[in-house]
Structures are given as C-alpha cells and as structure tokens.
Amino acid sequence: MPSDLAVINCRQLVTVAGPCLGIIHDGAMLARDGRIERVDTRAEIEPFILPDCDVVDAGGRVVMPGFVDAHTHLVFAGNRAAEFEQRCAGATYREIAVAGGGIRATVRATRAATEDELFKAGRQHAEWMLRSGTTTAEVKSGYGLSLDDELKMLRVIRRLNDSGPLRLVPTFLGAHEVPDEYRGRPSDYLDLIVNEMLPRIAAEHLAEYCDAFCEEGVFTVEETRRVFEAARKRGLGLRLHADQLSNAGGARLAAEFHAATADHLEQTDAAGIAALVAAGVQPVLLPGSVFALGLHRYPDARAMIDAGLAVVLATDFNPGSSPTPSMPLILFLACTQMKMTPAEAIAAATINAAHSLGRGSSVGSLEPGKLADFVIHDCADYREVVYWVGAPTVADVWIGGRNLRIPKS
Ligand code: NIG
Ligand code: FE
C-alpha cells in the first residue's frame, strides 16, 4: 500500500532516534494511516511519493516529534489569579495554603463544577498545550478528593482523551491533599482512598498510574506507602511528587517501590539520586514550578544525567505552582537554570518522557512504526525552539497524521 502522507523539505528532521537527536538534514518522512513508514533524506524519500499522496512542504524549517508532557494537572475548575497577585505582593505558596487557599481552593471549585464544565475547561487547557507543540500529556486527578469527585475528574480525562486530538494518560492522585472534611484524621482519608477509590478506579480502568504528594505537612512516607501498596495490588503504575519543598525521603520511597517516576526532586540529595539509579526510577523535573514560585533551588539535573538517569522534563501545568502549558518555556528553564543542553532538554521532553509513560514504542520519536505525531517549528535549527523564549515557534501540529491547523496568533 502506498504512503498517504509525505513531509518534505525539512531543514532539520529531528527524529530523536539515535545519537545527537538523530537529526537528518534536508530530511523527509512518509506515513500511512497515521503511522510513520520511513524517515530519510529527501533524495531517498522522493521516489516513493506517489501522485495521490498528501505532500506537506515544511518550507526548510525544523520538524520534530510532538512534546510528551509527562506531569500535568490539566483538569481543574477556575483559576488562582487572585492568589498569584497575593504572591506577587509577597505572600508565600505555603502561607496561602495554610489560610485555606492553594490546592484546597481548586478542590472547592472543582467539586462545584459539573462534568461538562470541567470538560470545557480541560478542552481549553488541552488547546493551549497543542499550540505549544505538545501531542501527548499525562493528566492527574487530585482536585476532587472524594469518591464521586475523583471519579468525575477521571471520567473527564477519559472523555478528553476519547474526543482527542491530544493523547492523554490518566493518573489517579487522590493523595494530593487531605480534604477539609478529613482535617486532622488523615488515616480515615487514606481508608477512603484504599478501600473505595482505588477499587472503583481499577475496576473501571480509569487510571494507568497512581501518584501521591509525599511532603512535609501533606502525606508522610508511611502514609504514601499505604497508598502505593494498595495501588500496586490493583495493577496501577506508580509516580510520586517527591522532595519538592522538603527532603522527606520521597526519592527513596519511589525507589523502594520501583516506581516509574519520581517527580520534582528539588531537595533530593546524592543518596536519593543513587537510590533512583539503583531502582531504575526516571526523574521528572519540573522547573516551571520552581520559577513560578519564585524559588531558587532547582533539581540537580546535571548530577542525575551524570549518574545515567533518563531525565524527563514536564510542565506540571496547574493553577497554582506552575500555571504554564508551554513545554518550550520549560526547556528554556532547564537549559538556563539547570544547565541542560538544548539536545538533552529535547530528548527529556520527547523520548524519555514517552518511556516514563509506557509509551516508548508509540510516541516520542519519529521512527517507522510510531504514530505520526509531529510539529513544524518556525526556525531552521532545533536549538532555536528552546532559545527564542516566549516566541510562538509552533507553526503546525499533526497528530496521527492529521493536521490540527493551529490558528495563527
Ligand atoms: O505539582 N505539589 C503538589 N501539586 C502541584 C500543585 C498543585 C496546585 O497548587 O494546585 C504541584 O506543584
Ligand atoms: Fe504536580
């Protein structure tokens, strides 16, 4: 069967397959039924382009895989712009949380929203991501914190995934915070997670992963262990908000459970990094939240890379600590603040991220057999995608070989 889609005239076809991002100069690509068939130079590909094949002329620009954003809180109601203003005036994230704002404010708004309202909000956030060049995103629940509201969030994630075009991977984050009605009795809330939420979620296949916020003042290592044991029994993969604001032993706990990922890791020390290496846990670094909270301690990405870890970069998109859906911004922060190279950052945001979500054989690079999820960037060199901070370099996005026709801003 002949190919139905050809992409030609790519100044750099950034395949992310092989060393140096597998860049093919004057590259071209063939796809059929939404899957990549061949990537090579234009000269090699051209003889295979038959008359009724759709031909996309990339105009001498950069073509690369869509970003895979492996840590987001894409579904929530309302926003926290008023809290943002308070933080601009000097209030801290923790002070606002203690006063009843923060995550708990978004929980109140999300509980009050109908499924349709949440779906609409999620659609808008997904649209922002697409315009930033993201084609796959992990999405966490965690603003419901009751059986019905967590199920509501996970159903919205499923609906968003079914209606496309963004590909979504659902994660259950019931242990994001102790809800108001359980204040002072966290173990009763853990009972609810373990005895009611997890069994329902597993039975309805509403989540692939389970996550928890292991942090001083939120869930202890012991409490998180209870959630992880129950989640593992139900067949869910594990991810963990670890060592974000304090070194509470999150990285070591993620290692103990051989979790897929340990996320944040701003406070993780050398022993924590060694534990991740020994257990094969991928670090997911979220510099957007450090930046947006006005903090200065970024995770030690260089030490993690030097230790051989396949580092992942993600937005942590949420209405509080990281209100950005933009992977290019995250890559810029990774390079300027954590001293990653642009090539390391792109690999972290595509193939490494795909592996961390169990999607390493379908997305994250441009290789035969993978889904044709790719982006044309308005530039001639891959480093420009990272370097022109704030510039809308994303010119066009394809998911499964289908053009999304991003409206020009
Ligand atoms: O990943 N750390 C906990 N959860 C989010 C913040 C969520 C919020 O502020 O609404 C995070 O940073
Ligand atoms: Fe998060």
Q: pLDDT tens for residues 224-237? A: 999 999 999 999 99
Q: 191: CA distance to ligand 2 center in Å?
A: 23
Instruction: Determine the distance separating the centroid of ligand 2 and the alpha carbon of 263, expressed in angstroms.
Output: 8
Mutational test site, ligand 1, from 71, 73, 110, max ligand atoms within 8 Å of CB = 73
Q: Does the pLDDT at position 248 exceed 90? A: no
- Counting atoms of ligand 1 from 1, which one is nearest the CA of 244? 2
**Ligand 1 closest atom vs CA 316:** 1
Whether residue 180 has pLDDT greater than 80: yes
Residue reference for tokens 């972290």: 348
Is there an atom of ligand 1 within 6 Å of 318 CB? yes
* Across 200-213, average pLDDT: 98
User: At 366, phi and psi to the nearest 5?
Assistant: -105, 95
pLDDT of res. 182: 97
Q: Note the pLDDT tens digit of each residue in 286-340.
A: 999 999 999 999 999 999 999 999 999 999 999 999 999 999 999 999 999 999 9
Average pLDDT along the chain: 97
358 or 217: which leads in pLDDT: 358
Tens digits of residue pLDDT in 117-129: 999 999 999 999 9
Q: Where are the alpha helices (DSSP H) in 219-341?
A: 221-233, 250-256, 270-279, 287-292, 301-306, 327-338
- The residues, any chain, with a CB within 8 Å of residue 310's CB and separated by 6 or more, are 282, 348, 352, 355, 356
Ligand approaching nearest to the C-alpha of 104 = 1
Spatial distance between the Cα atoms of 375 and 235, rounded to a whole number of angstroms:
34
pLDDT of residue 309: 98
How many Å apart are CA 110 and CA 91, to the nearest integer?
Answer: 24
What pLDDT, in 10s, does the model give residues 146-173?
999 999 999 999 999 999 999 999 999 9
Q: Please tell me the distance from the alpha carbon of residue 175 to that of residue 224, in angstroms, as a whole number.
A: 8
The closest ligand to the CA of 142 turns out to be 1
Share of the chain above pLDDT 90, in %: 96
What are the Cα distances from residue 201, in Å, to 137, 139, 196?
20, 15, 9
pLDDT at 2: 86
Dump pLDDT digits (tens) for 388-401. 999 999 999 999 99
Query: pTM higher than 0.75 for the full model?
Result: yes
Which atom of ligand 1 approaches the CA of 71 most closely?
1
Give the CB-side neighbour count of residue 194, counting CA atoms within 13 A: 16
Amino acid at 285: L
- What is d(CA 275, CA 203) in angstroms, rounded to the nearest whole number? 32
Establish whether residue 211 lines the binding site of ligand 1, counting it when its CB lies within 6 angstroms of any ligand atom.
no
Instruction: Tell me how far apart the alpha carbons of residues 233 and 4 are, in angstroms, rounded to a whole number.
Output: 44
Q: Is 110 in the pocket of ligand 1 (CB under 6 A)?
A: no
**Phi/psi of residue 397, nearest 5 degrees:** -125, 135
Could you identify the atom of ligand 1 that is nearest to the CA of residue 264? 1
Evaluate if residue 189 carries a pLDDT over 60: yes
- In testing the pocket of ligand 1, which one of 143, 321, 330 has its CB within 8 Å of the most ligand atoms? 321
Which one, of 114, 111, 172, lies nearest residue 146 by Cα?
111
- Confidence grade of residue 405 (pLDDT, cut at 50, 70, 90): confident
- Which DSSP string do the residues of 131-196 spell out, in sequence order? HTTEEEEEEE--S--SHHHHHHHHHHHHHHHHH-SSEEEEEEEEETS--GGGTT-HHHHHHHIIII
How many CB atoms lie under 10 A from the CB of residue 175?
A: 29
By the 10 Å C-beta count (0-12 exposed, 13-18 middle, 19+ buried), 224 is classed as buried
Q: Token pair for residue 340?
A: 């990653």
pLDDT at 409 over 60: no
Dmax over CA atoms of the chain, in Å, equals 70
- CB 241 near ligand 1, within 6 Å: yes
pLDDT over threshold 80, residue 285: yes
Mean pLDDT (whole number) for 210-224: 96
User: Measuring from atom 9 of ligand 1, which residue has the nearest CA?
Assistant: 320
The average pLDDT across 277-284 equals: 98
